[in-house]
Amino acid sequence: MTSMVLKRVLQKGLLQPCFEWRVAGHSARIFPVCYRCHESAEGTSYFDLYHEWVEKFRKANIPEEYESAGFITAHLLGYKTFSVIPSRDLRRSVTDRELDAFRRMGECRLARMPIQYVIGDWDFGGVNLKMAPPVFIPRPETEVLVDHVKNEISKRVKAQSPIKMLEIGCGTGAITLSLLNAMQSVSLQGVAIDASEHAVGLTKKNAHHLNLSYSQNLQILHHKIGVDDDDVLMDLGPFDVVISNPPYIPTADMDNLPEEIARYEDHGALHGGRNGLDVVKAILSTCTKLLSKDGVLWMEVDSSHPRLINALFDDWKIDSHRDMYGVARFCRFLRSKDVDAN
Ligand SMILES: C[S@@+](CC[C@H](N)C(=O)[O-])C[C@H]1O[C@@H](n2cnc3c(N)ncnc32)[C@H](O)[C@@H]1O
């Protein structure tokens, strides 16, 4: 029954004593609830539980209290978001086991665990990925980087086959796996490396879950750029496209991280040294050996970096690009100033 129809029914007085309108979610969805039925005869409903936890989160100053309770509710009911849950599911009463599961997840969120770790998976660039602390949670800006790289690969398809792609610092596998998934019609060989064993394990798990691990087109390696011997990577290259979202937060900014990030995410995935460029420099130095002659490197950086990078690395041809918020966030590097593949 749509809310318009239900409103008319209520105005005519057909259902009146038993219904009230409640507001749900940050988008203030008006939701009809039969309070008499679900509160007395049927015990606690999912809707009650949702409201109870919004209130708990609000009192404890947990950011995004509606979204937090909404994602937990949706997860336990088998939906992606709160707004798509049918009202019959929200009205049904919870079992003891469900109550317990909600409480456990709610308590994790009360301890400031990011909601992505609480529910254990998240969508990125068209794929669903397992999330687990302390592996870096992919951010929406990085989807813009993936779009740039998709365009770059599409333009190079005619000239080169197969395209060899390397990702440095793969985390959950978000960039490499979303690209391989979206570009299955292209002959693309991916190598994804990370300095963290946790990240390598999670990328492998996600690749398997997405049925991308069977392919000969993907290798996932434990490797620390700037420390481990690059011969292993040189044997797999040269690469046509290198992508990285490296740790790039300057030291001074590490003290101002939200608690969710500071407590749960690997600081090795965040901290880029004094001015945030330690790993960026190591990547550029290694890429002089790993990139093919007209190869391209795409990197996500701090908004303070494009200017610094342009000044520091004058032997590269560098363009910067903005994210969806208009922030200069991505740099595209070509090895030689004389070469532009496009
Ligand atoms: C900001 S996270 C990005 C993860 C993923 N690419 C994403 O966008 O969601 C940076 C990743 O780089 C890895 N990393 C840090 N230093 C590295 C290095 N020297 N060599 C390889 N990986 C490194 C971290 O372990 C972490 O997984």
More confident residue, 26 or 146: 146
pLDDT at 338: 53
193 lines ligand 1 (CB under 6 A): yes
pTM of this structure: 0.86
Q: Can you read off the two tokens belonging to residue 256?
A: 């101002």
Arithmetic mean of pLDDT, 111-130: 97
pLDDT at 111: 98
Full DSSP string of 248-271: -B-GGGGGG--HHHHHHS-GGGTB
pLDDT surpassing 60 at residue 341:
no
What 3-state DSSP class applies to 221? Answer: strand
State the distance from the centre of ligand 1 to the C-alpha of 74, rounded, in angstroms. 30
For the chain, list the domains and their CATH numbers: 17-111 (no CATH), 126-334 (3.40.50.150)
CA dihedral sign, ordered 151, 143, 192, 214: negative
- Which of 155, 158, 160 shows the shortest CA–CA distance to 342? 155
194 lines ligand 1 (CB under 6 A): yes
State the distance from the centre of ligand 1 to the C-alpha of 130, rounded, in angstroms. 16
Q: Can you read off the two tokens belonging to residue 94?
A: 């919870």
pLDDT, tens digit (0-9, with 9 covering 90-100), for 270-307: 999 999 999 999 999 999 999 999 999 999 999 889 88
Number of Cβ atoms within 10 Å of the Cβ of 179: 23
